[in-house]
């Protein structure tokens, strides 16, 4: 029977990447000492990859993984002790195995010389197994296994689910794995085979009964069925009397029942492990293409817009009064509640734990510390904090830049730390948590901190600031995010090329987030990233300028207030400032900045919306505020073109299009306009 397995390839690749992540994570934990359960987890992941690749015919992967599996088997049965060299070799093997799996995805060819080199290194390590330890009893043997390693007789009853073939599994591969354990005899049970006219080629109607003569443990036999676990009924029993094996089971047909053979004298070993039922697995999770989820979320957004329109119609009817209008409003209120609940649950489908991004850093820190001769304790916290999949995919590279920067510039070598009275081992912490509807990620180290004098000197040399400017410590610290800025004395493969931190800021800004740094010289630094939980929905404040309505992101607003003339101050050569609590903040007239000629110019007749951008406060002057509303973000660049100071657009309840303002972009546009053309600002202040 021929089958097109291409539809299962994506699932196989995804499971391979999950297995590789589990292997890498487990190997990194072995540095601290041997953990048998951890080794078993690594072994099972390698075994699944080997079995799956063999089923698809990817022999180069299955053969390479088989050598890794053999070495891991020696680790788990006590024939070999875990040491740093073995861990390094296995980590390098995971890297090349990932490259081989990537090659299947993008149809590229892995480095064959590197593959051969690592395979030879694995085989050489296997040849150097100490003789004394190879005779030890395997750690995974069951308690009833004889210490002499004599062959035992096992009886196996294997009934797969009907979807066995459709899911890309081949029983032949299972029997080949069992044959590696010892002498195998297999009989096929055809009793459930339907008449030819009713036969469905892709459905499995067969069952198998087998006897295996092998010194293997029950757990080792179960490993052969690991990639069909949950898709079969499996019973493994040990036959007490090897000299009297059960008679051969004749193949039965649907029309001819087989004679019943006498039951052998058998005693089940430590309760056979029946595989989980197919129904329980199917009810726990399913794999869905992300395109389908995105389509549902887009439709959900359209439903939100429609609900807003209906709500507006209901409000208009309510002004006319009447019992029907009241009933309509009650129905619309219920619709709004249901829509909000449906929307929140739909968005949860796209949410993933940030551990997906954090998991790469134990390996990265380990490798870089080896290159730089540093000792660093990496601490991860809040790994289960959830964030939108799109945000998660785009935050990976900025986080890598920041971690590398902390290791290269922040944390000192053991000798320098000891001379400064610090522990030789530095501390690097990555944490994530939800705060006020955002996700906040912090990258902290206890290193040298920022050298503000050096930063300021370099910034003046590069013309980023004037030597006459008086800058706050926070402003000096954030100069490191300027394009092309670097204080490295020499270029290395880690940093010093003048790219990185500005890319971090730009990428985070593209996600609607902000990044800032806090530092204490000699004590360490903390980089704080604030990101929205999702890029699809925004809680906004509706603000009017003339007849036009704009959306201000609610998360950026500190407060709104009526302007008091006595708190205004005009600065020569600058612009209007307003005293807000204990500081003066710039007043940004949105009507002039956005080119809207309809807005009021009288500060006393409008409102000042105080916002925060990259740790700095500013006041946005608008005519009036209308209310708060959750809006669906539509890409302006996709549907029209990108505009400075605007992050997107949305459709209001009355059908009008409203622009969603980008607060950091507005502040930057304001300062840029003021620098290039100060005269209008002075005129506005007069």
Q: Which residues are catalytic?
A: 47, 69, 405
Closest listed residue to residue 11, CA positions, set 169, 160, 159: 169
Cβ-contact 43, 140 below 8 angstroms: no
> Residue 114: in which H helix or E strand, if any?
helix 112-127
Distance separating alpha carbons of residues 522 and 60, to the nearest angstrom: 52
User: Cα dihedral sign for 419, 421, 424, 430?
Assistant: negative
Distance separating alpha carbons of residues 624 and 602, to the nearest angstrom: 12
Distance separating alpha carbons of residues 298 and 666, to the nearest angstrom: 28
- Mapped onto helix, strand or coil, the DSSP state of residue 91 is helix
Closest listed residue to residue 269, CA positions, set 165, 437, 155, 183: 155
According to DSSP, residue 34 is labeled -
SS3 per residue for 338-354:
HHHHHHHHHHHHCEEEC
Q: Which residue has the tokens 């180290």?
A: 445
Distance separating alpha carbons of residues 271 and 275, to the nearest angstrom: 12
Q: How many residues does the chain have?
A: 686
Tokens of 305: 């817009």
Q: Which residue has the tokens 């075994």?
A: 47
Q: Which residues contact 555 (CB under 8 A, 6 or more apart)?
A: 436, 437, 438, 532, 539
Distance separating alpha carbons of residues 491 and 486, to the nearest angstrom: 10
Distance separating alpha carbons of residues 659 and 649, to the nearest angstrom: 4
Closest listed residue to residue 367, CA positions, set 58, 62, 27: 27
Cβ-contact 147, 137 below 8 angstroms: yes
Q: Which residue has the tokens 């705060």?
A: 435
User: CA of 153: how far to CAs of 219, 221, 683, in Å?
Assistant: 14, 12, 97
The DSSP bridge partners found for residue 612 are 617
User: CA of 349: how far to CAs of 200, 291, 345, 438, in Å?
Assistant: 35, 12, 7, 18
Tokens of 220: 């080792």
Q: Which residue has the tokens 């069952």?
A: 207
User: Cα dihedral sign for 452, 453, 459, 462?
Assistant: negative
User: CA of 550: how far to CAs of 119, 371, 561, 618, in Å?
Assistant: 62, 52, 18, 17
Strands, E assignment, 274-425: 351-353, 376-381, 386-388
- Mapped onto helix, strand or coil, the DSSP state of residue 562 is strand
Distance separating alpha carbons of residues 241 and 153, to the nearest angstrom: 8
Q: For residue 303, how many C-alpha atoms fall within 13 Å in the half-sphere facing its CB?
A: 18
Distance separating alpha carbons of residues 113 and 415, to the nearest angstrom: 39
Q: Which residues contact 373 (CB under 8 A, 6 or more apart)?
A: 413, 414
User: CA of 314: how far to CAs of 173, 321, 338, in Å?
Assistant: 65, 11, 17
């Amino acid at each position: 029977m021929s089958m097109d397995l291409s539809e299962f390839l994506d699932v196989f690749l995804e499971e391979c990447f999950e297995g590789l992540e589990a292997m890498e994570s487990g190997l990194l934990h072995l540095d601290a000492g041997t953990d048998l359960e951890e080794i078993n987890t690594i072994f099972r992941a390698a075994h699944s990859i080997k079995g799956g690749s063999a089923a698809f015919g990817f022999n180069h992967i299955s053969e390479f993984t088989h050598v890794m599996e053999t070495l891991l088997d020696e680790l788990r049965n006590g024939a070999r002790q875990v040491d740093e060299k073995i861990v390094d070799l296995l980590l390098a093997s995971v890297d090349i195995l990932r490259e081989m799996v990537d090659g299947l995805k993008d149809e590229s060819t892995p480095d064959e010389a590197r593959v051969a080199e690592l395979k030879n290194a694995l085989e050489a390590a296997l040849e150097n197994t100490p003789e004394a330890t190879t005779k030890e009893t395997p750690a995974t043997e069951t308690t009833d296994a004889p210490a002499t390693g004599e062959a035992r007789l096992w009886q196996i009853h294997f009934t797969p689910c009907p979807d066995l073939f459709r899911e890309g599994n081949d029983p032949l591969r299972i029997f080949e794995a069992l044959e590696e354990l010892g002498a195998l005899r297999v009989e096929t049970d055809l009793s459930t085979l339907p008449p030819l006219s009713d036969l469905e080629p892709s459905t499995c109607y067969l069952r198998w009964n087998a006897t295996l003569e092998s010194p293997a443990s029950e757990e080792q036999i179960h490993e052969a069925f690991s990639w069909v676990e949950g898709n079969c009924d499996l019973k493994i029993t040990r036959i007490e009397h090897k000299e009297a094996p059960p008679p051969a089971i004749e193949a039965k047909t649907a029309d001819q029942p087989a004679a019943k053979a006498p039951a052998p004298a058998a005693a089940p070993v430590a309760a056979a492990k029946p595989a989980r039922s197919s129904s329980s697995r199917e009810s726990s999770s399913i794999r869905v293409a992300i395109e389908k989820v995105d389509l549902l979320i887009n439709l959900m957004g359209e439903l939100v817009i429609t609900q807003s329109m209906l709500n507006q119609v209901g409000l208009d009817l309510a002004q006319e009064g009447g019992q029907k209008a009241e009933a309509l409003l009650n129905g619309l209120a219920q619709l709004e509640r249901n829509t909000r609940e449906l929307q929140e649950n739909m968005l949860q489908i796209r949410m993933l734990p940030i551990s997906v991004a954090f998991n790469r850093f134990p390996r990265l820190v380990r490798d870089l510390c080896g290159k730089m001769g540093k000792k660093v304790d990496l601490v991860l916290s809040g790994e289960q904090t959830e964030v939108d999949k799109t945000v998660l995919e785009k935050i990976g590279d900025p986080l890598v830049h920041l971690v590398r920067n902390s290791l290269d510039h922040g944390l000192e070598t053991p000798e320098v730390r000891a001379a400064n009275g610090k522990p030789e081992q530095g501390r690097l912490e990555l944490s994530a948590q939800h705060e006020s509807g955002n996700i906040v990620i912090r990258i902290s180290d206890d290193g040298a901190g920022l050298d503000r004098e050096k930063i300021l000197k370099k910034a003046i040399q590069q013309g980023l600031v004037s030597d006459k400017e008086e800058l706050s410590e926070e402003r000096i610290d954030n100069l490191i995010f300027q394009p092309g800025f670097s204080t490295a004395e020499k270029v290395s493969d880690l940093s010093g090329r003048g790219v990185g931190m500005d890319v971090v800021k730009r990428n985070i800004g593209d996600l609607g987030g902000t990044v800032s740094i806090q530092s204490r010289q000699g004590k360490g630094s903390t980089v704080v990233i604030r990101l929205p939980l999702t890029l699809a929905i925004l809680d906004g404040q509706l603000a009017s300028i003339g007849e036009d309505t704009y959306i201000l992101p609610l998360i950026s607003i500190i407060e709104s207030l009526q302007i008091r003339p006595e708190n205004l101050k005009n600065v020569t050569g600058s612009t209007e400032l307003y005293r807000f609590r204990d500081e003066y903040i710039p007043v940004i007239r949105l009507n002039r900045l956005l080119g809207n000629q309809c807005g009021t110019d009288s500060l006393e007749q409008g409102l000042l919306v105080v916002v925060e951008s990259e740790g700095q406060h500013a006041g946005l002057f608008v005519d009036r505020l209308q209310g708060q509303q959750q809006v669906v973000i539509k890409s302006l660049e996709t549907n029209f073109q990108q505009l400075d100071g605007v992050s997107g657009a949305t459709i209001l309840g009355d059908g009008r299009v409203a622009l969603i303002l980008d607060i950091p972009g507005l502040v930057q546009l304001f300062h840029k306009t003021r620098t290039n053309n100060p005269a209008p600002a002075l005129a506005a202040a007069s």
